[in-house]
Amino acid sequence: QIRREAAKKNLYVNAFNASKCPECNVRVDYSTQSYCGVCATPLNRECEECKEMTPFGLRHCVHCGK
């Protein structure tokens, strides 16, 4: 199970770096979209610390680093 969780996190990081949806692989803009327009996969989440939107699946917030 740990390996599966790590693979899923890696999938999100790779998708973010490629500007693609981690589920359907369509091109997305993480800076303006909260969900994929094709499959509705969540792309961003609210950071608990700074309340800014940050890409889902990344370990740290891209705004505050927490």
- So what's the pLDDT on residue 3? 82
Per-residue tens of pLDDT for the chain, all 66 residues: 778 877 887 899 999 999 999 999 999 999 999 999 999 999 999 999 999 999 988 889 999 999
- So what's the pLDDT on residue 18? 97
- So what's the pLDDT on residue 1? 74
User: What is the reported pTM?
Assistant: 0.78
The answer for residues whose C-beta is within 8 angstroms of residue 16's C-beta and 6 or more apart is: 22, 30, 55, 57, 58
